[in-house]
A and B are shown apart, each in its own frame.
Chain A
Amino acid sequence: MIFLQLLISGILIGGVYALISLGLTLIFGVMRIVNFVHGDMLMVAMYFSYWFYTLYSVDNYIGLFLVVPALGLLGALMYRFVIRHAIRRSHEASILVTIGLSIVIQNAALLLWSADYRSIHNEWATRSLQWGDLRISSPLLIAFIVALVVTGILFAFLHRTYLGKAIRAASMDRFAAVLMGVHPQRIFTLSFAIGIALVGVAGALLSSVFAVHPTLGTQFLLVSFVVVVLGGLGSLRGAILGGLLIGVVETTSAYFIGSSMKQLVYLLLFIVILIVKPAGLFGKRIPEVNQ
């Protein structure tokens, strides 16, 4: 019974991990950059959601419709004004610049909102469903369902629209995509915006699950790194599977050996998989692309 409980809880949180990781892997797939700001944007999204709730009593599930476009816009601006110039320089520059941005954002959050842990206490926050011995937390269940729907929309977009196909094409072969008339900067901006908007969805959903604080991003960045590398860099399917897997592993190990050790377990798993299957579960060799 306890295993079923852990499995379900793990899958629920894993769905949200998958959503965050989808954004990270999409950005990597198209631009070949590791976005170190990813976790911090989750933190920003959670603060937005928190303040909408606290100041204007907008429920976080309604607030989602404000947070997501706001984050998408932030993503586009960040790409246009910062990341783009770094990519043009070199690979190292893009790493340094996103790490730098991450530090700036964390400190800005600290300055603006202090180091306090803040959480939303809406009517959902503490509710749970119960079937016999099984307890399922409502906010997590909602988060999972929304994550599922959003993932479905993302896949439909990527597979059924010209823009979506252009994103996939550019991540497979940028040169060939440009020859088809794809405007690369437009596709990069869009991909970055989508990647950050996905984090926005996760942030709005998680704001009634976890308390937010300025350095919350770091731990989620770590989780999504593990997920993305596990699933295979740039692989969307891999990110989904990896997210669910890490969710279950984390939940199970937290139960058996304690919360403080749970990261150790999935990092160990991460190392083992990298030794056994270095390209990740769905990985292929990622070709370098030049600009």
Chain B
Amino acid sequence: MLSIEKGYGRYGELTVLHDIHLSVSRGSIVSVVGTNGAGKSSLMKFLMGVEIETEGRIWLEGEEISRWPTHQRVAAGMVMVPEGRRLFPEMSVRENLEMGSYTPRARKRRKQGFDFVYSLLPKLKEREKQPAGSLSGGEQQMVALGRALIAQPQVLLLDEPFLGLAPIMVRQVTRFLQELREQGLTILMVEQNATFSLRCSDWGYVLVSGRIVSDGQGKDLLHSRDLRKVYLGV
């Protein structure tokens, strides 16, 4: 469904992603875990083709998209929820969701998109008119997810979806992601919190200093020595 072949990512002189090979099969949840500065956000930017110079190939549903501009990737169904949600703070919740339906494809199915998101996240409907900037962190994460879902994604990319969430929200987001997978969505997330993300993942990768050092099934990887080494240094 989505794969990277020999990917390198660079900010000017500084290469932050080295020889990345990664693949995500349809209808699965895949996590890439790593500590601060490992290059997780860079990997997301690499996939979206934004802010970072890239080398290597990206395949989306059998098509090579490595040279496509960002807006074309979004239109093809690769939709990302950035680190820190990045909502449009002075826009209402409703307008934020409308921005999610910006691409022509999503615009055509806007009504269904809204119905779908409001049925999954009824809270957003209540908050429709409120400025997005005034919501709590957990609510903002829901808006960010809703905004991405309205874009009619084939693959959903999540940058640290659990960051800063209260335990109850973590469980809620986890359940929500699993529900989305049940509905056939493909999800690739990068997370610092290996426990939260690998627990609900089918497959995981470990990223260290811009290199993938290990991979495996979500729960196996979580208890592996490789991972302990990365996080605890033992």
Contact flags (1/0) for B80-104 with A, using CB distance below 8 Å? Answer: 1010001111110001001110110
Interface residue total, chain A, C-beta cutoff 8 A: 17
A162 with B88: CB separation less than 8 A: no
Chain B residue with the shortest CB-CB distance to A290: B51
Q: Which residues of B contact A (CB under 8 A)?
A: 48, 50-51, 69-71, 74-75, 79-80, 82, 86-91, 95, 98-100, 102-103, 106-107, 147, 151
A175 with B82: CB separation less than 8 A: yes
Report the separation of the CA atoms of residues A175 and B79 in the bound assembly, to the nearest whole angstrom.
Answer: 13
Chain B residues with Cβ below 8 Å from A182 are 71, 102
Taking the nearest CB of chain B, how far is it from the CB of A182, in angstroms?
6
Chain B residues with Cβ below 8 Å from A177 are 88, 99
A165 with B99: CB separation less than 8 A: yes
Taking the nearest CB of chain A, how far is it from the CB of B114, in angstroms?
15
A178 with B102: CB separation less than 8 A: no
* Stretch touching chain B among A8-16, A41-49, A166-174: A166-174
B71 with A181: CB separation less than 8 A: yes
Of the residues B86, B87, B88, B103, contact of A181 by C-beta under 8 Å: B103
A165 with B98: CB separation less than 8 A: yes
B48 with A179: CB separation less than 8 A: yes
Report the separation of the CA atoms of residues A206 and B48 in the bound assembly, to the nearest whole angstrom.
Answer: 47
Chain B residues with Cβ below 8 Å from A176 are 82, 86-88
Chain B residues with Cβ below 8 Å from A166 are 99, 102
A180 within 8 A of B: yes
The verdict on A169 contacting B50 (CB below 8 Å), with A179-B80, A181-B75, A183-B71 known, is no
Chain B residues with Cβ below 8 Å from A173 are 86-89
Known pairs A173-B86, A177-B88 / 14 extra A-B pairs, C-beta < 8 Å: A165-B95, A165-B99, A168-B91, A169-B88, A169-B91, A169-B99, A173-B88, A176-B87, A176-B88, A178-B50, A179-B74, A179-B79, A181-B102, A183-B71
Taking the nearest CB of chain A, how far is it from the CB of B149, in angstroms?
13
B151 with A175: CB separation less than 8 A: no
Taking the nearest CB of chain A, how far is it from the CB of B76, in angstroms?
10
User: What are 14 pairs between A and B in contact, CB < 8 Å?
Assistant: A162-B98, A165-B95, A165-B98, A172-B90, A172-B91, A175-B51, A175-B86, A176-B88, A178-B50, A178-B70, A180-B99, A180-B151, A182-B71, A182-B102
